[in-house]
A and B are shown apart, each in its own frame.
Chain A
């Protein structure tokens, strides 16, 4: 396996960069594994990584129907933060933030973790009160949070529209430890780390069925034949309803399309992540200079990885309302990803009614920031057949029992996050 160091860089420079080795193997599947993870995206790969690293379970396969990281891990706006409010939620996201902070040293791969601050703008007194409450809830959980007034925000981002007649900026809630991460490198780093520890990552292997006998998982039928396993973890957000249906489960989830955008490259302009509080818009600037931004889901069920123009217009209107200068910027690309929209806006990391079957789903459009903790908790749940206290609230039966984690306090709809 390729080790990366200044020496390997020098050596490979001298050989004209023609002798770098692949970062992971491309094995054929064995007949049987202790654990199979369906889905070679961020959450599936991090689950395999932590199964091997934290629990010593290395007889593991990750099955990916396409190429590694071809789903939402490569289609998001790369934001990390732990600024949630509810008790069942924020300790989990803060654990994710702590894992992000040590991730590159942990898996020895440059994921460009950049804690460049996340600022949520507020535009009314009521919104400021709500932000103060959320900030205090975060601080109770040991998370950094600062409430800024308009003067502080102006010092950071003078180009925002402070005097907008409808949406004057009153201040903001700042998490300095929030930021961005190079999303593809997260998949690659976890894949490499898992592969080094013996995990088989099998690409272009589509799961077509789940075999269950006497309430117990036996394995999966795939495009590469039957593969047996003792435990099966589903990490296929976007398509969770379909994979769960193979095991006869119906989920409290709808699939919706979310669009994201990148502008032409600009000189350094926005050094953190800024979100609009009067509409749905979030923006940061990539290290290549493009403004990376997004807004709300399109609002209809979809499995197409593309959205429609009305939402493009809506997102850009919100952006221009926040930063008038954006009107002069040209959009370079837009794309869509499929979101598992759960009925309370929160995820599911749980066992199921079928022995040996575990479910990781319902990430709405907040899954990227959760990648490390999601894998960490899912690995724990699979290894020990029980929930860790960090994912104890993310049970599948919470909807039936009335223990929703509804950050917006809005009730059962599939358009929360």
Chain B
């Protein structure tokens, strides 16, 4: 358990960065940069432990109650989705 002021939040972890620069992928880029589900309830969000160990995490938090349901490293989260994580 760490105090909230040690963390910086980057928002929804769900949008995935498109891998193509092709103009035909503009819709995907538009989605990624601008559109959000913005759920009331559970949200997977990026949290940087900026005032601590500097790790990037994905925290599952309820946006209605602020209750935290769990956290994994951002790397594990990406791997689970079949992406990145060298």
Contact = CB atoms under 8 A, between A and B. Distances in A.
B51 to A, nearest CB: 10
B22 interface: no
A259 to B, nearest CB: 13
Interface string A220-263: 00000000000000000001011000000011111100000000
A299 B5 CA distance: 11
Contacts of A303: 40, 63-64
* Interface SS of chain B: mixed
Residue of A250, A253, A303, A304 with highest tally of chain B CB at under 10 A: A303
Contacts of B38: 241-242, 251, 253-255, 301
Interface in B15-65: 30, 33-38, 40, 43, 45, 61, 63-65
Nearest to B41: A303
Contacts of A36: none
Contact of A300 (B33, B45, B64): B45
Contacts, number: 60
B36 A412 contact: no
Given A254-B11, A308-B4, A400-B30, A302 B36 contact: no
A22 interface: no
Contact of A304 (B11, B12, B33, B64): B64
Nearest to B27: A400
Contact of B37 (A241, A302, A304, A400): A241
Contacts of A300: 9, 11, 45, 61
A76 B54 CA distance: 35
12 contacts: A242-B38, A250-B35, A250-B36, A252-B34, A254-B36, A300-B9, A301-B43, A303-B64, A310-B4, A343-B34, A399-B30, A414-B11
Given A255-B63, A304-B65, A399-B34, 7 more contacts: A251-B36, A301-B38, A301-B43, A301-B45, A303-B63, A308-B66, A343-B33
Interface of B: 4-5, 8-9, 11-12, 30, 33-38, 40, 43, 45, 61, 63-66
